[in-house]
Structure 1
Amino acid sequence: MSEASTTATGISGRLLVMMAVSCALAVSTIYYHQPLLAQMASSFGLAPAQAGLISTLTQLGYAMGLLLIVPLADCRQPRRLATLAIATNAGALLACAAAPNFAMLCASSFVVGVTAITAQIIIPSLSSLATPATRGRVVGALLSGLSAGLLLARTVGGFLGAQGGWRSVFALAALVDVPLLIIVARSLPLATNQASIGYAGLIRSLGSLVREEPVLRLCAASGFMLFAAVSALWASLAALLAQPPYAFGPATIGLFGLVALLGIAASPGIGVLVDRLGARAMVLAGAMTLVLGMVFVAAAGHSLVWLIVGLVLIDFGNRGGLVANQSRIYALRAEARSRLNTVFMSAYFLGGAAGAAAGSYGAHRAGWIGLASVGALFAVLAAVINARTPRTADTTLAVERAGATHGPQGPRE
């Protein structure tokens, strides 16, 4: 990133790269298991569909971590909070690797989700340093890191699972937490505008934000539906691909995560589109792209070409909706960005848990068509909810950007 670019965003290029890498490493721990579900179920003598419970509990745990831990970043140093979460996450991953039975694996997976929230501490922290006119660009760059974590987890997880079994993957994930801990401890900026509020008051304030900010409620609801659609797909994909006519193993299934490469490259551009076109239009476009992607997924039983096209569309649709919604909520209250992010991302990953359960059911009942029907329904509901978001939400973003660009001294050069 050039010096001009650094000045434009208010964040150094080196810091943005380091934090994007941190987001990638942090989020990867909740996705390593996805190409391994059929293998994990087999090791405990279970049907492949039953392993979907691991995805559901991991996503549910992540939502609980967002709800109960991330708000602390508004009144505690984000750096210290993140390092404690990473250390605990490593312990939970080791517990998964050593789990003697399926119940212990499920419990440990839940804790992995609870403590994998470092990226959601980093994103609002960096967002607060960005200029309003480029916040979408910064959020998009950090989400590129999240996408890289998805790619790393699904692809590497599937490959290593095929070579050394699923337990080795969790052990490696615990080791990956070590460089993450070092990067965050050294590089995450210290907060300077923290609120003076106790934990109980902090949690109560989440309810106040939900009551007082209708845009937050609608963004959270549409985010719930968008990620439910995505999670429905990925929680069921391994089980469907492990069955005829494909009968793929974990390594091959993990390769399907490579479709995220296109999304990673597109994320900064999506952020620019949000800045230019408005969040409301981008969320609608994202939801409709998801619906189209699910149409292709419905035909995946006949050709892998349709599945790959569907995966690409679904990744783009989810990414566009996520960047747009987060840019919209960060403009609401500068002093409560961590809590705003908590409400939004808690809803987002609760949607992931609901989608994982619903997708597993749909796939069990009607295969690819059942899965696609569930995902398309969630995406349509996201579009309907987004239509209720007031256009003034985009106006608020525009005013904030104009205020940052045209201050008392006139426009910036």
Structure 2
Amino acid sequence: MSSFADRKDQAADPLSPATIFLMATACAFAVATLYYNQPLLPEMGASFGRSGSDAGFLATATQLGYAGGLVLFVPLGDRIDRKRLILTLLAFNMVSLLAVTFAPTFSALIAASVAVGLTAVTAQIIIPAISGLAAPDVRGRVVGSLLSGLSAGLLFARTLSGVVGGHAGWRTMFLVAVGIDAVLMVIVVLRLPRTPPSTTLSYRSLLSSLGGLILREPVLRVACLTGFLMFAAFSALWGSLAALLAEEPYHFGPDMAGAFGFVGIAGLLASPWIGRAVDRLGNRLVLRFGALTVLAAFLLAIEAGAHIGFLIAAMILLDIGNRAGLVANQSRIYALAGEARSRLNTVFMTSYFLGGATGAGVAAHLTQRFGWHGLAATGIVFALCASMAALAAKRSRCL
């Protein structure tokens, strides 16, 4: 016998404005889990007597865990009921957040951070499910709306964790995160549309098919490369920001570091516009715009240690540029093979978050040694490589 929630799913328009809004909210709460630690890294490290570089590895560990979750769990979205999959992952994510809260040692904290990332992939199950219900001529707009939720999640996570961590301690923030996961569960149960499985492949066959998708789809390869590089640049700044702001000339605590999350409003406001631009102008142009915007951001970041205005401007451009690249890439890969959307998303987002882990790790070492200039150099190198990859894709007509 169908449950009330199931009957509501069947009766509701799967892409009504209310559903898209609630799914964007679900994406926001899901992705926020990855970023609660970023404004709190200095305090988390200090509580175990660790340096800023060591604390920065917590962000890298979370991103690496997320990449692992993308490979291990997101392909199952093509094979089994997505609601059941998401609710199971959320339950394990809540346990992982509790493990962070009560971690007795720094090693245990790293392990728990990996587990948080591993089980925080629910947004990447929701996005291909919803985009698959959209008509091709509005898919960019729908993806843009869902990615507005991701932008809101980044803003929400960094701002909330900065305030809570600054006043009640970093462990309290992760207890709050458990409650937020509970709210996310309610949204998923009530409003995630039913989407039938698109394949009967076994779990082993699902995983082995990922390599075939990479070999068969040149568009996917370009998206993976540019996504890796652009998110590496993005994570280089955000993974190092709290540690840099704690030093001269700013001496900001976690609450002020978290307040910088408000620059995410730029990406939040720009995402629907970017989605419409993809529908009208095409993926190639929007991707190149995004890569060049990220490059411009880090050119401004050269002076971020001298004047806070340069830092804010750089962060706004970085958020818009990264978001443009993400919408352009995801809109394109979802059009490749409808029966493999979850697996396409797995390949792309795994590369994307491996880039994030790489950027955060490289920047943690260079900023400790060279400060803001080390951060700027890291971002400029990644952004230049992304721009060249996008240009090469245009010339070879791979995108």
TM over 0.5: yes
Q: Using the alignment, how far apart are the partners of 2:225 and 2:293 within structure 1?
A: 18
Separation in 2, partners of 1:181, 1:320:
29
Work out which of the residue numbers 316, 323, 328 in structure 2 matches 1:324: 328
Confirm whether residue 292 of structure 1 aligns to residue 307 of structure 2: no
Of 72, 76, 80, which aligns to 1:76? 80
What residue number does 1:25 align with? 29
1:246 matched residue in structure 2: 250
Residues 247-304 of structure 1: CA deviation (Å, up to 9, x unaligned): 1000011000000112101110000011111111111111111111001111011110
1:49 Cα deviation from its structure 2 partner: 2.2
Q: Aligned equivalents of 1:365 and 1:385: distance in 2? A: 29
Which runs of no fewer than 5 residues in structure 2 stay unpaired? 1-12
Does structure 1 conserve the Cα–Cα contact (< 8 Å) formed by 2:218 and 2:398? no
2:266 pairs, out of 262, 268, 280, with 262
Instruction: Quote the residue 1:174 is aligned against.
Output: 178
Aligned to 2:312: 308
Determine the structure 1 residue equivalent to 2:42.
38
For the 8 Å contact 2:163–2:258, the answer to whether it is kept is yes
Residues 233 and 359, structure 1, Cα contact 8 Å, conserved in 2: yes
Q: Which residue of 2 aligns with 1:336?
A: 340
Query: Which string of whole-angstrom CA distances, capped at 9 and with x for unpartnered residues, describes residues 310-356 of structure 1?
Result: 00000000000000000111111111111000000000000000001
Question: Whole-Å Cα distance in 1 between the matches of residues 23 and 334 of structure 2?
Answer: 18
User: What are the within-5 Å matches in structure 2 for residues 122-161 of structure 1?
Assistant: 122-161=126-165
Distance 2:61 2:46 in 1: 19
Give secondary structure in 1 for the equivalent of 2:393.
Answer: coil
Judge conservation of contact 1:137–1:271 (CA < 8 Å) in 2: yes
Percent identity, please. Answer: 51
The answer on whether the counterparts of 1:10 and 1:130 sit within 8 Å (CA) in structure 2 is no
For the 8 Å contact 2:334–2:341, the answer to whether it is kept is yes
User: 1: distance between equivalents of 2:72 and 2:197?
Assistant: 20
Q: 370, 390, 393: which is aligned to 1:389? A: 393
Q: What's the offset of the Cα at 1:165?
A: 0.5
1:185 and 2:189 aligned: yes
Match of 1:277 among 264, 269, 281: 281
Using the TM superposition, give the Cα deviation of residue 377 of structure 1 relative to its aligned residue in structure 2, in angstroms. 0.7
Provide the alpha-carbon RMSD of the alignment.
1.2
Match of 1:207 in 2: 211
Task: Confirm or deny: 8 A CA contact 2:74 2:121 kept in the other structure.
Answer: yes
Aligned pairs for 1:54-69 within 5 A: 54-69=58-73
TM-fit CA distance, 1:190: 1.4
- The 1-side partners of 2:127 and 2:52 are apart by 35
Q: What code does the residue aligned with 2:245 have?
A: L
Deviations 1:140-192 (A, max 9, x none): 00000011111111001001001110000011001110010111122111122
**2:3 counterpart residue number:** none
Q: Distance in 1 between matches of 2:274 and 2:14?
A: 19
Map 1:325-404 onto structure 2 (within 5 A). 325-389=329-393, 392=397
Q: Deviations over 1:68-123 (max 9, x none)?
A: 10000001111111111111101100110000111101000000000000100000
Aligned to 2:123: 119
Gaps of 5+ in 1: 1-8, 395-413
Provide the residue aligned with 2:107 in structure 1: 103
Instruction: Give 3-state SS (helix, strand or coil) of 2:198's partner.
Output: coil
CA distance in 2, matches of 1:47, 1:361: 11
Letter in structure 1 aligned against 2:285: A
User: What letter is aligned with 2:164?
Assistant: L
- Displacement of 1:193 in angstroms is 4.5
Distance in structure 1 (CA, Å) of the matches to 2:197 and 2:305: 53
How far is 1:392 from its partner?
5.0
CA distance in 2, matches of 1:326, 1:262: 20
Do the aligned partners of residues 213 and 306 (structure 1) sit closer, same or farther apart at CA in structure 2, a change above 3 Å counting? same
TM-score, L = length of structure 1:
0.92
Task: Specify the code of the residue in structure 1 equivalent to 2:335.
Answer: A
Please give the alpha-carbon distance, in whole angstroms, between the structure 1 residues aligned to 2:303 and 2:178: 38
Alpha-carbon offset, residue 361 of structure 1: 1.5
Contact 2:301 2:372 in 1 (8 A): yes
Query: Corresponding residue for 1:197?
Result: 201
Counterparts of 1:192 and 1:158, CA distance in 2: 40
2:108 counterpart letter in structure 1: M
Aligned counterpart, 2:228: 224
